[in-house]
């Protein structure tokens, strides 16, 4: 099956997730969703890196590592992987050290958590030009750091009310520069269902046009892709057929899929 690993799933260890976001609840859904490997990626900031926000300070390694005690003996044949979703604050400040990253199966880094003003991004982030510059620069920086496995929800700026305009102003060659660097450095791109929820115009095939452009370019540049539902509650896990349909429309095939060992 195509895109049968989901590497972006939050359990209720993430402070913003719902209480019903349990390992068992997700495992029960995997078969119907065609998912054979589930990668849990709770929000995480490494205590070895100074500068956690108050919210992140509580989500340290001891906290997320509790997950290992919550995996049932019988996982219904589903492979389980332990990862995290950390942060990148620019200027080389990544929320996980190289040493800690080795303790995890994978590391997701978002470069579009533009809602955390004063922490991940400056307070004065407002214009489409600012949003596009920060996402492009940070994605380019992160793919060169040698720690990220994948970019979480690429180019889905959280808290941004001008997404269509922001993305429309990114040129194909802007995307190419970032995607060629990601491909060269082996950093995969997540296909995240948020692309269907944002206020982006659909194209004639009913797909979000700006994201179709980005993912098609990323595929042409040699990027690899994985599914990331970013569920914070089990019902949000039910999205994989839609992700697969979108991927096919972008020309993504088995050959373009990132596989986590």
Could you tell me which stretch among 151-159, 172-180, 196-204, 211-219 binds Zn ion (CB under 5 A)? 151-159
**150 lines the binding site for Zn ion (CB under 5 A):** no
- The stretch near Zn ion (CB under 5 A) out of 83-91, 161-169, 203-211, 235-243 is 83-91
* Residue with Cβ nearer Zn ion (149 or 251): 149
Give the closest residue to 227 by CA, choosing from 247, 211, 213: 247
Task: Give yes or no for residue 154 binding Zn ion (CB under 5 A).
Answer: no
| CA distances from residue 250 to 43, 50, 187, 188, 214 in whole angstroms, order as listed | 29, 40, 19, 16, 9
Which region, left, alpha or beta, applies to residue 27 given φ > 0 means left and ψ of -120 to 50 means alpha?
Answer: alpha
CA distances from 73 to 42, 59, 78, 79, 237 (A): 21, 25, 11, 12, 22
Phi/psi-derived region of residue 165, left when phi > 0, alpha when psi is between -120 and 50, beta in every other case: alpha
In the complex, the smallest distance separating the C-beta of residue 113 from Zn ion, rounded to whole angstroms, is 6
> Among the candidate windows 71-79, 95-103, 110-118, 198-206, which touches Zn ion by CB under 5 A?
110-118
Smaller CB separation from Zn ion, 49 or 249: 49
| Residue in 6, 42, 85, 190 binding Zn ion, rule: CB under 5 A | 85
Distance (Å, whole) CA 152 – CA 155: 9
Residue 128 touching Zn ion (CB under 5 A): no
Which is nearer to Zn ion, 18 or 176 (by Cβ)?
A: 18
Whichever of 100 and 111 has its CB closer to Zn ion, that residue is: 111
The count of residues interacting with Zn ion (CB under 5 A) is 4
Which residue, 85 or 210, has its beta carbon nearer to Zn ion? 85
The burial class, CB within 10 Å (0-12 / 13-18 / 19+), for 236 is middle
Nearer to Zn ion, 33 or 85 (CB): 85
Instruction: Please report whether residue 42 would count as binding Zn ion according to CB under 5 A.
Output: no
Rounded-to-integer distance, Cα 9 and Cα 176, Å: 28
Residue indicated by tokens 């492979």:
79
142 near 88, Cβ under 8 Å?
A: yes
Lookup result for tokens 């997950």: 67
- Select from 15-23, 58-66, 82-90, 194-202 the region that touches Zn ion (CB under 5 A): 82-90
Please, which residue, 128 or 193, has the CB nearer to Zn ion?
A: 193
Binders in 186-245 for Zn ion, by CB under 5 A: 230
The residue among 168, 108, 174, 99 whose CA lies nearest residue 142 is: 108
87 near Zn ion (CB under 5 A):
no
Interface with Zn ion includes 6 (CB under 5 A)? no
33 binds Zn ion (CB under 5 A): no
Interacting residues toward Zn ion by CB under 5 A: 85, 110, 152, 230
């Amino acid at each position: 099956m195509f895109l049968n690993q989901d590497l972006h799933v939050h359990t209720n260890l993430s402070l913003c997730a719902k209480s019903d976001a349990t390992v068992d609840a997700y495992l029960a859904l995997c078969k119907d969703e065609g998912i054979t490997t589930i990668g849990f990626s709770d929000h995480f900031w490494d205590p070895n890196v100074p500068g956690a926000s108050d919210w992140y300070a509580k989500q340290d390694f001891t906290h997320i590592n509790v997950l290992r005690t919550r995996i049932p003996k019988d996982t219904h044949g589903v492979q389980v992987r332990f990862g995290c979703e950390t942060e990148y604050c620019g200027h080389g400040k990544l929320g996980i050290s190289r040493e800690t990253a080795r303790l995890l199966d994978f590391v997701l880094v978002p470069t579009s958590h533009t809602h955390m003003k004063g922490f991940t991004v400056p307070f004065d982030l407002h214009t489409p030009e600012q949003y596009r510059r920060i996402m492009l620069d940070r994605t380019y920086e992160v793919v060169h750091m040698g720690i990220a496995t994948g970019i979480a929800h690429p180019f889905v700026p959280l808290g941004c009310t001008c997404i269509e305009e922001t993305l429309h102003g990114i040129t194909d060659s802007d995307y190419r520069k970032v995607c060629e660097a990601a491909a060269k450095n082996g950093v995969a791109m997540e296909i995240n269902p948020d692309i269907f929820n944002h206020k982006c115009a659909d194209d004639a095939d009913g797909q979000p046009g700006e994201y179709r452009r980005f993912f098609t370019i990323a595929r042409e540049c040699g990027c690899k892709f994985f599914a990331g539902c970013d569920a914070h509650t089990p019902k949000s896990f039910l999205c994989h057929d839609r992700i697969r349909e979108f991927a096919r429309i972008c020309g993504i095939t088995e050959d373009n899929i990132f596989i986590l060992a």
